[in-house]
């Protein structure tokens, strides 16, 4: 492979890498874990949650995450649940971006090594 070709490909990967890195900076707050929405039935006989058709209590929102090996849960309002879901989506996007950066970096690194090895 001619050296110019390697240099061009390397420049493309480096450009792509910089674009991904710039995208990283646009990501808002991040949060781990997940949000669940639940409906429940109580123990009170004759309550609407036992009616036919049943009208269960809720929705109740809860955030669950593993922090330092411990499962942490937190009750949320609907608005808080929306925020958490946004942050969790940001976190997924962040991890996807880093994965892409690793792939591009690996290709760029191979070309850099090739350049370094040539006289």
Candidate residues 27, 47, 65, 89; the one interacting with Zn ion per rule CB under 5 A: 47
> Strands of 70-76's sheet, edge to edge?
34-40, 57-67, 70-76
Q: Considering the complex, what minimum distance in angstroms separates the CB of residue 92 from Zn ion?
A: 35
| Lookup: tokens for 70 | 């411990």
Residue 56 vs 110, nearer CB to Zn ion:
56
SS3 46: coil
SS3 40: strand
Candidate residues 11, 21, 42, 106; the one interacting with Zn ion per rule CB under 5 A: 42
Residue 102's nearest CA partner among 17, 11, 12, 8 is: 17
Q: Considering the complex, what minimum distance in angstroms separates the CB of residue 42 from Zn ion?
A: 3
Residue 56 vs 62, nearer CB to Zn ion:
56
Taking CB under 5 A as the binding criterion, the range among 17-25, 38-46, 79-87, 93-101 that sits at the site for Zn ion is: 38-46
> CB–CB of 11/115 below 8 Å?
no
| Lookup: tokens for 20 | 């991904």
User: What is the contact mask toward Zn ion in residues 49 to 88, using x (rule: CB under 5 A)?
Assistant: x---------------------------------------
């Amino acid at each position: 492979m001619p050296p110019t070709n390697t240099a061009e490909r390397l420049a493309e990967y480096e450009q792509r890498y910089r674009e991904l890195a710039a995208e990283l900076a646009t990501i808002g707050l991040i949060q781990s874990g997940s949000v669940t929405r639940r409906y429940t039935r109580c123990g009170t006989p004759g309550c609407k949650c036992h009616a036919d058709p049943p009208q269960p209590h809720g929705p109740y929102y809860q955030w669950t995450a593993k922090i330092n090996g411990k499962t942490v849960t937190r009750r949320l309002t609907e608005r808080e649940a929306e925020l958490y879901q946004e942050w969790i989506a940001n976190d997924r996007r962040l991890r996807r971006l880093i994965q892409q950066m690793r792939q591009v970096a690996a290709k760029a690194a191979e070309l850099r090594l090739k350049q370094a090895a040539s006289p």
